[in-house]
Chains A and B, each alone.
Chain A
Amino acid sequence: MGEIIEFTVNGLKRRIEVEPNELLINVIRGKLGLTGTKYGCGIGECGSCTVLIDGEPALSCLTLAIEVDGREIVTIEGIAENELNHIQEAFLDQGAVQCGFCTPGMIIMAKYLLNKKRNPTEKEIKEHIKGNLCRCTGYINIIKAIKEAAEKMQNSNVKAISKEL
């Protein structure tokens, strides 16, 4: 027997019927058609399925859809308010994208980190993406990109403040 759940995905309210054994990843990808969230291992080792639930990163392959009733979800498709955010731009600037399969999870983690901390150390960056496997880049350009994004965000904050003044 399915149950009706209501939750927000990328700012849009959704009301859908789910079975207790349906996984969040399959609801997001299948029922909502948001295929940016990826299946990589299904057991929490690769981080490709990472989404934000109430602002905190979670593995959608190990989350029951029924658990997110009443909660707020952000996927890669909802990460930028406009076209691209600083993180996405920095990933492109730094050649941090190769096959792109890990990219959504990486960007979600970068977003979470930079929301929490404006100027993370390299160690903190690594700690935040160590649950996200990448087989192409050796991580170096991804770390560079997150550093660049942090700098850009700080500069744009400075600009925003100086505009106000």
Chain B
Amino acid sequence: MAKKVFSVIGKRTWRKDGVAKVTGKIKFTHDISLPNMLYGRVLKSPYPHARVRSIDVSEAEKIGAICLTFKETPKVKYNERLVSVPEATYKDRTVLTDKPLYVGEPVAAVAAETEEKAQRALELIKVEYETLEPLMDPEEAMKPGKPLLHESVVVADRVVKVENNVACKLEISEGNIEKGFGEADVVVEREYKTNRRYHLQLETKTVICKPEIDGGVTVWCTTQSIHNTRILLHQIFGIPLSKINVKKAALGGSFGSSIQTNTIVPICVALALKARRPVKLVYSREEDMHDHCCYQVILRLKLGAKRNGLLTAGEMHVIVDIGGHQIQAYPLLGCMAGWWVSLYKIPNLKYKGIAVYTNKVPSCAMRGFGNPQVTWAVETLMDELAEKISMDPLEFKLKNYVGLGDIFWGQGPTVKSVITSCGVEEILRKGAEMVGWNKRGEPREKRGRVRRGIGMARGFHTSGAGGPLAGQTVDYSGATVKVNEDGTIDYLTALMDCGQGDYDTHAKIIAEELGVPLRNINVVLTDTRSTVYDVCTHASRATYVGGAAALKAAREVKGKLLEYASRVLDVNPNALKIKPDEETGQGVIYIEGVPGKSLTIGELASLARHKNWGTFAATVSLRQVKCPPHFTGYFVEVEVDTETGVVKPLRIVAGADIGTVINPGLAEGQMHGGFAMGLSMALHEDTPYNPESGDLTNKGFITDYKVPTAADMVDVEDFKVFFVDTHEPTGPFGAKGIGEGATNPVAAAVVNAIYNAIGVRFYELPITPEKIVKALREKEGK
């Protein structure tokens, strides 16, 4: 395909919300206040498993607080994540509960004139609890005879009994694994345990609800989906959708923590409806850490290969410790299977996934939705296998990877499509050369107190959740493009930008298509009333799906512009083109090779008003029938101090195939940020529980939830990012996603680098200095 020359795509530009962000003027939900507003606080269970015997709010009410308990809130069972179809959505929670299932689960709530008063009121509420046996370990919780956290859950409209605390399960098999493993020359089987990470998105969960005179509500909240928030509130409170308006604000990071409607949103709505006044509820950091975390998994993986380097069979068994409620456990089980089978071609395979309830903070998606966990296991086991068959892991991976023309499971077994663009080989070859892969040496050759090692891992993530069949995942987006009377453009989308720069991506796509200067595109801060449905900003779909919707709307508008321009200029519309013109600051409609026959979009739009032709605008709703994988590869050099066990990253080479690069600066930023998050997954993060109290050991304080600081990162010149030259035929201007692929293989690359340095493999994350020192001493002892 001939290389296209773009006017704005691929150019480095200031992000559209940038000036507002660097001046502190942009409004996050945290920053919004309303007149006559009350401040909310949530009363949280101090026990991991209990039943509320009695609750007395009279003292709190005496000081003027509005109080709310489970007795007054709707009993509707809900699941806060509405990305899947009803048959795949397991509903198990209510607005407030009388049977808390984790330390921190909301039992009651108050609203008062000030935060201080709300706090006082909270402390005046008296609750009597009957404590129940807490189940803190998933394998323990599954044993027969253990108390059930949930007797039943609701799936679609069916009540489903829960057995042995198994929230849901999924089994998949293809081919014949007995035969497959029989054919293998080498079989390796390992058990992996990942950490229970916390998103640590910088803006804690926040919501403001304003009750309206018509019985409806206006809501601002930290969310990745304004429309799903609206639908959920409709499901819980029965308010007609037309009377619920969820408004956008800037979002201070998310990383999956707000794919679902936050727990505090329905609580705040209930408070506001009772108070008949606006209520703002901001979770403190320690409350936020008691609200959500990443899925922790125990993963047993077995792979078989022939000496010629071909995989013959694989078996994966996953136990997911989901905590007290299921937010998207069932889709997760499908996705984890999908991530596994989409890394390498395994002719015979068997997968079993079980999600188990425990008395811990509920887990939700976190950047990669199970993919970093799966990729860590697969990419490190592939290295082990390669070593056993004496093959360079890079060649071994290139021999087996799922690539061009292969089937890709973009969102579990029900969302499959054929891969139509792939830069895996180029990523690995180029990265290997840049990092000096062949000079990395063997662990046994390394000596000395401080040892260096280079590790590599590759990965991918889906770009959206579309497919040729409807599948179990809702995935479509919408866009409105409208030409103002001066030729500037208003763009309206329901899709949320969590910070990654989706609005800029869309604005560039529209500017490119319409041939107008980028500054003429105004991205409107929308709400659910002014937009058509977008499912959610997740699955790295904002560019590939949201961007495609923007492109479709722009294309329709362009057609109308050209049609009317052709009347004005008296030519065939097919002869017309549009290009940005610096002099007029407008898109100019012209005929190639015919000077003088032109007019600006502003002139045309103005004329359309005076001649009563109407507004040039289009609203579209779009589903992609694919979700192409974007591919990444990380080469990481680390230094391990064998005496202190401290691991320090030294050099990073990161390659990615994301199709056409629309925002180079922000795309590089995704790779940098994705690396930092993966590094932290490998080395630092975890939220262990105190077995006595059943609470987080760190009690929610980030003093003891360490993530890397600037001083823990490599130097600027030691972090190289490159994008390979690919074009996704189904993507807007050839583009795919990047956000999650940017982090998925990182932990595996770091772990492989540690192995290359010291010759020890670790099967439990994070790999702390404590574990390294212990392992090295044991190794020496042998």
Residues of chain A with a CB closer than 8 A to B25's CB: 36, 77
Residues of B within 8 A of A107 (CB): 22
Chain B contacts of A137 at CB under 8 A? 669, 672-673, 676
Given contacts A40-B285, A126-B711, contact A94 B665 (CB under 8 A): yes
Please tell me which stretch of B250-258, B298-306, B463-471, B602-610 contacts chain A, meaning at least 4 of its Cβ atoms lie within 8 angstroms of it: B250-258
Is A16 at the interface (CB under 8 A from chain B)? no
The answer to the question of A103 belonging to the interface, with a C-beta cut-off of 8 Å to chain B, is: yes
**In the assembled complex, A41 has its CB within 8 A of some CB on chain B:** yes
Q: Note all chain B residues with C-beta closer than 8 A to A26.
A: 115
- Interchain CB contact under 8 A, B23 and A147: no
Let me know if B676 and A103 touch, CB within 8 A: no
A80 is contacted by which of B21, B23, B115 (Cβ under 8 Å)? B23
Bound-state Cα–Cα, A139 to B677, Å: 11
Are B202 and A133 closer than 8 Å at their CB atoms? yes
Contacting pair A99 B499 (CB below 8 A): yes
Question: What chain A residues lie within 8 Å of B252 (beta carbons)?
Answer: 38, 99-101
CA distance A40 to B30 in the complex (A): 10
In the complex, the answer to whether B22 meets A91 with C-beta atoms within 8 Å is yes
> Is B668 touching A95 in the complex (CB atoms < 8 A)?
yes
Q: Select the stretch in A1-9, A42-50, A63-71 that faces chain B.
A: A42-50
**For the complex, is A92 an interface residue (Cβ under 8 Å from B)?**
yes
Is A58 an interface residue when CB atoms closer than 8 A count as contact?
no
Closest to A103 in B: B21
**Residue with the highest number of chain B CB atoms closer than 10 Å, among A35, A75, A147:** A35
The interface centre, meaning the residue of B18, B27, B28, B201 with most chain A CB atoms within 10 A of its CB, is B18
Q: Which of the residues A93, A100, A142 comes within 8 Å of B14, measured between beta carbons?
A: A93
B239-279 vs A, Cβ < 8 Å mask (1 yes, 0 no) = 00000000000111111000000000000000000000000
CA–CA, A86 and B197, complex, Å: 37
Which among A40, A95, A97, A135 is the interface contact of B707 at CB below 8 angstroms?
A135
Render B104-120 as a binary contact track against A, CB cut-off 8 A, 1 for contact. 00000000000110000
Within 8 A of A (CB), among B670-723: 671-677, 701-703, 707, 709-713, 715-716, 719
Q: How far is the CA of A29 from the CA of B201 in the complex (A)?
A: 20
Known contacts A95-B665, A97-B18, A143-B710; A46/B251 CB under 8 A: no
Question: Are A99 and B202 neighbours in the complex by a CB distance under 8 Å?
Answer: yes
From B21, B254, B501, B711, contact of A130 by CB (8 A): B711
B31–A35 contact, CB under 8 A? yes
User: At the interface, yes or no: B203 with Cβ under 8 Å from chain A?
Assistant: yes
Is B30 touching A39 in the complex (CB atoms < 8 A)?
yes
**Cβ-closest chain A residue relative to B719:** A140
Would B30 and A35 count as touching, CB distance under 8 A? Answer: yes
Assembled-state Cα–Cα distance A30/B674 (Å): 34
Question: With the chains together, A39 CA to B288 CA distance in Å?
Answer: 13
How many A-B pairs fall under 8 Å by CB?
A: 189
Cβ 8 A contact of A98, one of B116, B669, B677: B669
| Identity of the chain A residue whose Cβ is nearest the Cβ of B289 in the assembled complex | A41
Tell me which of B21, B22, B25, B204 has the highest count of chain A C-beta atoms within 10 A of its own C-beta. B22
| CB <8 Å contact, A35 and B24 | yes
Per-residue A-contact encoding for B540-562, CB less than 8 Å = 1, 0 else: 00000000000000000000000
Alpha-carbon distance A135/B116, docked complex (angstroms): 30
Complex CA–CA separation, A134 to B200 (angstroms): 9
Q: Does A37 contact B (CB under 8 A)?
A: yes
* Most chain B CB atoms below 10 A, which of A40, A43, A97: A97
Please measure, in the bound complex, the distance between the C-alpha atom of A42 and the C-alpha atom of B710, giving whole angstroms: 20
Name the contact of A125 in the complex, choosing from B282, B709, B710 (C-beta under 8 A): B710
A119 interfacial by beta-carbon distance below 8 Å: no
B115 contact set on A, CB distance < 8 A: 26
* In the complex, chain B residues 639-682 whose Cβ is within 8 Å of any chain A Cβ: 663-666, 668-669, 671-677
Render A86-117 as a binary contact track against B, CB cut-off 8 A, 1 for contact. 00100111111111111110010000000000
Any A CB within 8 A of the CB of B284: yes
Q: Are B203 and A99 in contact (CB under 8 A)?
A: yes
Smallest CB gap from A91: residue in B: B22
Determine the chain B residues whose CB is within 8 A of the CB of A35 once the complex forms.
24, 27-28, 30-31
Chain A residue nearest to B497 in the complex (CB)? A99
Q: Taking the complex as formed, is A11 at the interface, i.e. its CB lies under 8 A from any CB of chain B?
A: no
Q: Are A136 and B669 in contact (CB under 8 A)?
A: yes
Q: Are the C-beta atoms of A38 and B202 separated by less than 8 Å? A: yes
Question: Which B80-130 residues have a C-beta within 8 angstroms of A?
Answer: 115-116
**A131 smallest CB distance to B (angstroms):** 7
Asked whether, in the complex, the Cβ of A142 is within 8 Å of the Cβ of B499, the reply is: no
Contacting residues of chain B (174-216) with chain A, CB-CB under 8 angstroms: 199-204
A46-B202, A98-B501 known; A133 vs B253 contact (CB < 8 Å): no
> Nearest chain-A residue to B288 (Cβ)?
A41
Contacting pair B24 A76 (CB below 8 A): yes
Q: Tell me which residues across on chain A come within 8 A of B21, comparing CB atoms.
A: 97, 100, 103
**Which residues does chain B contribute within 8 Å of A30, judged by CB atoms?**
33
Contact check, B666 vs A88: say whether CB atoms are below 8 A apart: no
A103 to chain B, nearest CB (A): 5
State which residues 129-156 of A face B: CB under 8 Å: 129-144, 147
Q: Please indicate the chain A residues that have their CB under 8 angstroms from the CB of B200 in the complex.
A: 133, 135
In the complex, chain B residues whose CB is within 8 Å of the CB of A101: 28, 202-203, 252-253, 499
Bound: A21/B203 CA distance, A? 24
Check B14–A92 contact: CB distance below 8 A.
yes
Is B24 a contact partner of A77 (Cβ separation < 8 A)? yes
CA distance A46 to B703 in the complex (A): 9
A98 adjacent to B500 (CB under 8 Å): yes
Verify B672–A133 contact, CB threshold 8 A. no
User: Which residues in window 11-59 of A have CB below 8 A to B?
Assistant: 21, 26, 29-30, 34-43, 45-46, 48
Tell me whether A36 and B23 are in contact (CB under 8 A).
Answer: yes
Instruction: Give CA–CA (A107, B19) in the complex, Å.
Output: 13
Which B residues are CB-close (under 8 A) to A45?
Answer: 701-703
Question: Could you tell me if B22 and A48 are in contact, using CB atoms closer than 8 angstroms?
Answer: no
Specify which chain A residues have a CB less than 8 angstroms from the CB of B498 in the assembled complex.
Answer: 99
A164: Cβ under 8 A from any B Cβ: no
Q: Looking at the assembled complex, report how far the CB atom of A140 sits from the nearest CB atom of chain B, in whole angstroms.
A: 4
Look across to chain B and name the residue whose beta carbon is closest to the beta carbon of A21: B116
Contacts of B255 in A (CB 8 A): 135
Residue of B nearest to A104 (CB): B24
Chain B residues lying within 8 Å of A34, measured Cβ to Cβ, are 24
CB of A165 closer than 8 Å to a CB of B: no
In the complex, the answer to whether B710 meets A141 with C-beta atoms within 8 Å is no
Shortest Cβ gap from B720 to chain A (Å): 11
Specify the chain A residue showing the minimal Cβ separation from B17.
A100
Rounded to whole angstroms, the CA-CA distance of A40 and B272 in the bound complex is: 25
Contacts of A29 in B (CB 8 A): 31
A92 and B18 in contact, given A45-B703, A136-B499 (Cβ under 8 angstroms): yes
Chain B proximity of A48: nearest CB distance (Å): 6
Cβ B22 vs Cβ A88 within 8 A: yes
B15 adjacent to chain A (CB < 8 Å): yes
The verdict on B63 contacting chain A, using a C-beta distance below 8 Å, is no
Q: How far is the CB of B223 from chain A (nearest CB, A)?
A: 14
Asked if A81 lies at the interface with its beta carbon under 8 angstroms from chain B, I say no
CA distance A77 to B713 in the complex (A): 29
Q: Once the chains bind, are B22 and A75 in contact (CB under 8 Å)?
A: no
Known: A98-B501, A140-B672. 4 other contacts (CB 8 A): A46-B702, A88-B19, A138-B677, A140-B713
Chain B positions within 8 Å of A, measured between CB atoms, are 12, 14-15, 17-19, 21-28, 30-31, 33, 115-116, 199-204, 250-255, 282, 284-285, 498-501, 663-666, 668-669, 671-677, 701-703, 707, 709-713, 715-716, 719
Q: Give the 7 A-B residue pairs with the shortest CB-CB distance, closest first.
A: A36-B24, A99-B499, A95-B665, A101-B252, A76-B24, A100-B21, A138-B672
A contact residues vs B (CB 8 Å cutoff): 21, 26, 29-30, 34-43, 45-46, 48, 75-77, 79-80, 84, 88, 91-104, 107, 122, 125-127, 129-144, 147
28 contacts between A and B (CB under 8 A): A35-B30, A36-B25, A38-B203, A42-B284, A45-B701, A95-B666, A95-B668, A97-B22, A98-B500, A98-B501, A99-B203, A99-B252, A100-B17, A100-B21, A100-B26, A103-B21, A130-B712, A134-B202, A134-B673, A135-B707, A136-B253, A137-B672, A138-B671, A138-B673, A140-B668, A140-B669, A141-B665, A141-B672
